[in-house]
Structure 1
Amino acid sequence: MHHFHDRPGPPGLELWCEEVPLSRIADAVGTPVYVYASATLAHHYAVFVRAFAPRDVSVAYAVKANSSLAVLATLARLGAGADTVSEGEIRRALAAGVPASRIVFSGVGKTDAELAFALDAGVSEINLESELELHRLAAIAADKGVRATVALRVNPDVGAGGHAKITTGSDENKFGVSASEVERLYARACALPQFDVAGLACHIGSQITEFAPLRAAFAAMRTLVERLRAGGLPVRRLDLGGGLGVPYGDAPPPPTPADYARAVLDTVGDLEVELAFEPGRLIVANAGVLLSRVIQVHTRPSGRRFLVLDAAMNDLLRPALYDAHHAIRPVRTPEPGAVERPYDVVGPVCETGDTFARDRRLPDLAAGDLVALMTAGAYGASMSSEYNSRPLVPEVLVKGADYAVTRPRPSYEEMLGRERRAPWLG
């Protein structure tokens, strides 16, 4: 579900976000621009939490999906925690009002400085992903004279996800401790005075649209919990990560949060553990669109049409990086029965990979028309860059009939002013 819908507005129907026409935002802020619906963020978070009712679960939103302070603050007010993978993300979560007691620190390559910062900040849990990291954190905690709450992140050798580059649970991936090492390393962590060992964590991938790998991962985690307890080791928390997919375009709908909750509870619901989850894409993907304006329509002698937008791969990298599909909608709704033509929808960056879609059927469009790339709230702005010296794309948050620019577009002077010449260059 999302809160982008067609409403009457001269000269006809057009696309709105909640109670604000997207054309108004485009005129005021310029394009390209990300637009987020507060109502969608709130709805998706509530749907996920309610799916487990009456059981209480811990939900730490995966900051990497969309690290906007405004988005984080919106979710923090709803009670969400934060799943973080860098010192910067911890700092963002804290700045947005997420209490340290609801922040989880994950990631396969945490530096000593980041681990020290996490301890100083008092995050609720640090997920250990290797034996070396276990010993490094123990040494840092000992030096500080503090006790760290930790979980062991398990690689259950169950890979899943919408693309090989977002699969994280296979033994070929870099993440987590192999299942064969869990009992030894868990016992070692429990024996160290620097640690309060909470339990186990796993995350097998992103954009998962089928249940078989999820159920296999849940079953593998159940087996590990039972084996650890049989060996006399306490396990009070089981973090099953995130990864549940969202509908992009015309693909079959993924399982719902209610379906997901049933699969979790059917598999591990009787273990008497605190259940924790780290959804990201599921919360924010449908809450955002990338609003763009057509620069020109370029037609080759062969008849191939290129719809050239002012948005580019540096603004939304997913199609170039993952061959990801995003629905593309004209902001002004075409008349019923309008003829559709195939377009290659591209940006202005000097890369053939700067392509959002090939042979996408769309109604006739012309220079100046607005289009919205849908389901762009996750891994859009958070992966954007200034490639080709294009100013970073701005972000807007909508709530009802109000909207606010939450990340302004920098001027060229601001962009260039961050750099310095070497002294010998004058």
Structure 2
Amino acid sequence: MSLYQEHLKTVTRRFNEALEANGFDSVLIFAGQPAVAFLDDNTYPYRVNPFFKYWVPVVESPKSFIFYKIGETPRVFLFQERDFWHTQPQVPSGDWQQMVDITLVDAIQPVRTALSGQLAKTAYIGESFAPLPEWGINNMNPQGLIDHLHFQRRLKTEYELSCMRKANIIAARGHNAAKAAFDNKASELEIHHAYLAATQCHQAQLPYNSIVALNQNGAVLHYDKYDTLAPAEHRSFLIDAGALYNGYCADITRTYSASSSGFYAELVEAMDQAERDIISEIEVGRSYYDLHVAMHHKIAGLLSQFGFLKIDAATIYERGYTNAFFPHGLGHFIGLQVHDVAGYLKNAQGESYTRDARHAFLRLRSDIEIGQVFTIEPGLYVVDQLLEEYAGNEDFNWQRIAELRPFGGVRVEDSVHVTKNGVENITRDAFASLK
């Protein structure tokens, strides 16, 4: 069987289990539709419902539906509007079409007609739309079902892994082009355009707004302003940018120094090594939370090693100083969504881990299992807003911190797959394949 056929078998089994556990016999999944801006007739970029692309590799066909009843073949209602204003979404080819029943519709009403009398025990997953209240569906996005399905999604199928590997190759190609543009002293906007050209995407086809930050802008964690003019001096470059393949995500961050020497270039190399070191510590059964804390200790070591603080690494962590320089989590699940689901779920019944006040922004707390894919993305930045509470603290080497401020910071991010034989670094393998 093909990877997709095996994947569909797994998805079907997971839905059977989740539906039966929550008292349903079927599910209706709406792909979603573009939202119209307030007081306007233009729409926001469309994002497909993740559960829709979980079943079929269709990401650009809004107003479509999937209906699955336990024991029956999934029915896919693909919306093809009669419209001369816009290009019709292309239905991707592939063996997936032989595994489902496809019906083309040019309005929503035929879907309701086709499913008449079959929705009494149906769960609906998706955003609301105008006629939905008339359909007689009383179970919109039931939390128990959603939790069950999310918990199942923490383990990836071979098809999903294949899609993520391909997405990483696309993104790595874009990263290489962006690095070349940085070396040529381009502006942030020009670098972003180089990334789009290399990935052959437009902005709305990326999984998230790319972070393309030169110099001090690298300290803004979700920076996406894209200055149109190149700075007088190129000191540093932080890029956090991804790609999609069949709706599955890549999420890659790299940081570069304009100079091959000096403390900042050494810091970039040290962070890259620290990221690889923490990946080598991944073990099945270990808590991702413990891995995150271990990374904080490594960050404390860098803060001491590079003289940003005047005290030893153990004391730096004990006093909570690492949070001012490394405020975000070590990483997150990734797959159908960039920040994929189930990071805090303990089981399919929806029981969750408690958030730690010190590490409140960590998106993943569960134990590490074979089949998981998650990111590892440590960082170290000069964020003045976070440093304000330590003003005048003599543990801090403020002169040394001031030397880092014009460079912004440094972050490195890979996606890794946990296997029975160790860890597959999907991202670094993608870069290696392009050499």
Q: TM-score range by the shorter chain?
A: under 0.3
TM-score, scaled to structure 2 = 0.27
* Larger fraction in helix: 2
Hey, which of these two has a bigger chunk of strand by percent? Answer: 1
